[in-house]
A = this chain, B = another copy of it.
């Protein structure tokens, strides 16, 4: 399978009606340019999660992001700006809750099972208050343990 190009994330046709129109524009260009989120993130100097969140309409792109996306993905700057820089994100509509996608469900399950545990520990560490889900960044990393097994490490960092 060595000659196989890396498989790239894309959209499923049936989810497009829930997503902003730029999602299709961006993913089609990403596929055409054969770029991973890692490569795009490196070019934009942002985290991969933030870039993917822009693709799905969950985060705001800055004018600089639009410039870089436009040149990297070969999308006319004006049409991309019209899609990404007008209006504000209308977040939270990408998929159903509870999630039916198993991988996303696992994250939901972590909240369901460990939610009160996280709260108890955070309250003791920070007092009464809240962790922001907006003033927030995150990253995904890969770890390989000594047995060769892969682990996903997600870091969520939110202002208190």
**Looking across the interface, which residue of chain B has its beta carbon closest to that of A63?**
B4
Copies of this protein chain in the complex: 10
Contact between A154 and B156, CB atoms less than 8 A apart:
yes
Contact between B106 and A132, CB atoms less than 8 A apart:
yes
**Looking across the interface, which residue of chain B has its beta carbon closest to that of A60?**
B128
**Which residues of chain B come closer than 8 Å to A105, judged between CB atoms?**
92, 105, 109
Contact between A151 and B160, CB atoms less than 8 A apart:
yes
Given the known A-B contacts A37-B121, A116-B52, A116-B94, are A106 and B128 also in contact in the complex, defined by CB atoms under 8 Å? no
Within 8 A of B (CB), among A110-160: 110-134, 136, 138, 140, 142-143, 149-160
**Which residues of chain B come closer than 8 Å to A8, judged between CB atoms?**
86-87, 124
Given the known A-B contacts A102-B134, A155-B155, are A88 and B123 also in contact in the complex, defined by CB atoms under 8 Å? yes
Q: Which 5 A-B pairs have the closest CB atoms?
A: A92-B100, A10-B87, A52-B117, A9-B120, A104-B115
